Amino acid sequence: MSASRSRSRSDGRSHSRYVADRGLTTRMVTTMFLIGLLYVVVVGVLVAFLRGSWPVVVVIAGALFVAQFRFGDRLAAYSMGAREVTAEQAPELHGAVDRICALADMPKPRVAVADTDVPNACATGRSRDTALVCVTTGLLRRLEPEELEGVLAHELSHVAHRDVVVMTVAAFLGVVAGAMARVALWGGFGRGGHGRDGGAAVAVLLVPVISAVVYAVGFLLTRLLSRYRELSADRAAALLTGRPSALAAALTKVTGQMGQIPTRDLRRAEPYNAFWFAPAFSSRQSIGRLLASHPPLEQRLDQLARISARLGR
């Protein structure tokens, strides 16, 4: 079935053939509610201490939120080096995406390739219509066709379950809120109004604390969601393709070869671990391992082994 037929058949559907995950939905709603609440609290605190400049604070906060929602996915894809490719430029990759989309009965996302030896894949986008699935040249060189389809099924499940939308917004929301606080500090303090009652002095102390708390809470919330969503995507991909062993082989191969990648390339990929199929770490002692965006490899393989046994594969 062609991609266009798959798209036309799926446009009116609210669900794909990926198995639903209520646990993931609950976690996504909770994460967005808590991060949104955190964002509102930050704005409220800044307005309280910058009473004379509150319109500026509200405008900045709104502009940053809209910019994040509209352009966050593009920024993430650009930062990871994703380059959109046509079916003529990457026929085998497009063919694999077409097969998974037809199997899942979902619209085909844009397809991109990142020119890096780090073997990985990711999905970004604020909606199904703007979704993009990206694989690296390192992944394409290393995986067999069935393994690649397993990875693509994993990434497309993020799109089908819409958790990629939540991660695209939430992954940067804490940073945006912290930046908003610092912009208000640089732009509003010390210029009028609050010097006599000491409000500016208190705010100067509070803003760095607020920024740190916002970043820390946002970081932890997205990490907790990210770990669960990876297990959910593994499960959904294995059930959709009926080949959990192929996905397990891809996971083992990708994770096992991360240590052979130059440290410079891993450092470039590491900030976007929450989006990648498998985490990239620049050193074995990386602090990222302590607050990992992904569950341990053993846990992911155990889940796939159980699914394989259930399917008799």
Catalytic residues: 155
Separation CA 279–CA 289 (nearest Å): 9
Coil, strand or helix at 2: coil
279 and 121 in contact (C-beta within 8 Å)? no
Q: Based on DSSP, count helices (H) and strands (E) in the chain, helices before strands.
A: 11, 4
199 and 88 in contact (C-beta within 8 Å)? no
H-helix or E-strand spanning residue 153: helix 145-160
203 and 194 in contact (C-beta within 8 Å)? yes
Coil, strand or helix at 129: coil
How many Cβ atoms from other residues are within 10 Å of residue 145's Cβ? 12
Q: Which of 187, 181, 179 is nearest to 205 (CA)?
A: 181
Separation CA 23–CA 233 (nearest Å): 12
CA–CA–CA angle 270, 169, 156 (5° rounding): 70
208 and 272 in contact (C-beta within 8 Å)? no
